[in-house]
Amino acid sequence: MVFDISRYMIEDGPGIRTTVFFKGCPLRCVWCSNPFGLSREPEIVYNRRKCVLCGACLTACPQNALRMEPQGVALDRDRCTTCGSCVTACLSAARTVAGRIYSPREIVLKVLDDSKFYRRCGGGVTLSGGEVLLQAPAAAEILDLCRCELIHSAVETSGYGPWPALRSLVERCDLIFIDIKHSSAEVHRRLTGVSNQAILENIRRTAEHVFAAGSPRLVLRVPVIPGINSDQDNMAGIARFIAGLPGAAEVNLLPYHQLGTSKYEMAGLKYGLDGVQGASVALLDESREILRNLAPEWRCTIGGGEIEHADGDEGLPVSGCSAC
């Protein structure tokens, strides 16, 4: 079950990439910018800005789940069966279905359409989400097919899931990104709905596997959300955990942004962090210094895609991660 296949991505690994977004996530991070990836089921997405208020969708809906309101067409999601009749009837493409079943081979065939770009710039495919671990067998098959086609592969994951599922992907990909959202199990549960204990253990096991085998490459990602997880104590706790891992690799600090807030309205959901501003240069530099001081063996960058924020540069790359 996939909710998007995005081409020409440049922040989910090296080079130009095709990113496959798996649908369904066991976490409920309050800052998540991909609400279409939360549910495991297909869902109707409504872009009010595209709607011309023609009323064709109301007539087409067999469940009478739609009603016209001054601000647009409202959907009763309890009555909606996601049959797609309203999507077919929509004249302005304001309504779409997020979520479709693909076979692993269908996905790889789509990826192969862009293979000429991969060869020129060292790109490839990235499996993201949602959470890939919820569909690990299908993801593993995709990775096997990509390896047969000599396509570089990366996986973005929250790390929350059974170790055998994660190991099956670690053993097959070239690059793996895992998030560390908070050092405290209690705070992590409050912010995401789950404890971080299984995640931290999976990171340890992944590090042991990676540094023993020399492959795949490991990148840890830390979203920096002002006033939520950006305090010095939390960053120091994350740095100490990273410093205790067997070996050293790379840490990306991901600046919080609000680019996904409009998607919540489209999905009929409420965004959990209204009013929180983006991460400032000063805050990101402070977090980076903590990590550099306490985990000096690890290369710490600001932003995804292996982009390092140069000292004094006010422009920050807009970055994403598996659950952000």
Task: Please name the fold of domain 43-98.
Answer: Alpha-Beta Plaits (3.30.70)
105-110 mean pLDDT: 96
- Please tell me the predicted confidence (pLDDT) of residue 267: 92
Does residue 303 or residue 191 have the better pLDDT?
191
pLDDT digits (tens, 9 = 90+) for 121-147: 889 999 999 999 999 999 999 999 999
pLDDT at 287: 96
**Rounded-to-integer distance, Cα 317 and Cα 255, Å:** 8
First CA to last CA distance, the chain: 19
Q: What pLDDT does 258 receive?
A: 82
Mean pLDDT of the chain: 90
* Cα–Cα–Cα angle for 229, 233, 236, rounded to 5 degrees: 100
Question: Structure tokens of 8?
Answer: 């020409």
What does the block give as tokens for 268? 């009929």
With 0.75 as the threshold, say if the pTM is over it.
yes
* pLDDT over threshold 50, residue 321: no
pLDDT at 11 over 90: no
Task: Report percent pLDDT > 70 for the chain.
Answer: 94
CA atoms within 13 A on the CB side of 237: 16
Residue ranges of domains in the chain = 2-39+100-302, 43-98
Nearest to 243 by CA among 253, 233, 251: 251
Residue 253 has pLDDT above 90, yes or no: yes
Q: Above 70 in pLDDT, residue 44? A: yes
Per residue in 210-246, pLDDT (tens digit) is 998 877 899 999 999 999 999 999 999 999 999 999 9
HSE-up of 112 (CA within 13 Å, CB side)?
A: 14
Q: Please count the residues of the chain.
A: 324
Kindly state the average pLDDT of the residues 106-134. Answer: 91
Tell which residue, 66, 72, 153, 56, has the closest CA to residue 107: 153
Residue 315 pLDDT class (50, 70, 90 cuts): very low
Q: What is the 3-state secondary structure (H, E, C) of the chain?
A: CEEEEEEEECCCCCCCEEEEEECCCCCCCCCCCCHHHCCCCCEEEECCCCCCCCCHHHHHCCCCCEEEECCEEEECCCCCCCCCHHHHHCCCCCEEEECECCCHHHHHHHHHCCHHHHHHHCCEEEEECCCHHHHHHHHHHHHHHHHHCCCEEEEEECCCCCHHHHHHHHCCCCEEEEECCCCCHHHHHHHHCCCCHHHHHHHHHHHHHHHHHCCCEEEEEEEECCCCCCCHHHHHHHHHHHHCCCCCCEEEEEECCCCCHHHHHHHCCCCCCCCCCCCCHHHHHHHHHHHHHHCCCCEEEECCCCCCCCCCCCCCCCCCCCCC
Q: For residue 111, what are its two tokens?
A: 């990826």
Q: Which amino acid would we find at residue 293?
A: N
Q: How far is CA 41 from the centre of its chain?
A: 17
Q: Which residues contact 182 (CB under 8 A, 6 or more apart)?
A: 188, 191, 192, 196, 229, 234, 238
Is residue 313 predicted with pLDDT exceeding 50? no
Q: Is CATH 3.20.20.70 the right assignment for the domain spanning 2-39+100-302?
A: yes
Q: Give the pLDDT confidence score for residue 274 in this predicted structure.
A: 82
List, for residues 140-180, the tens digit of each pLDDT value.
Answer: 999 999 999 999 999 999 999 999 999 999 999 999 999 99
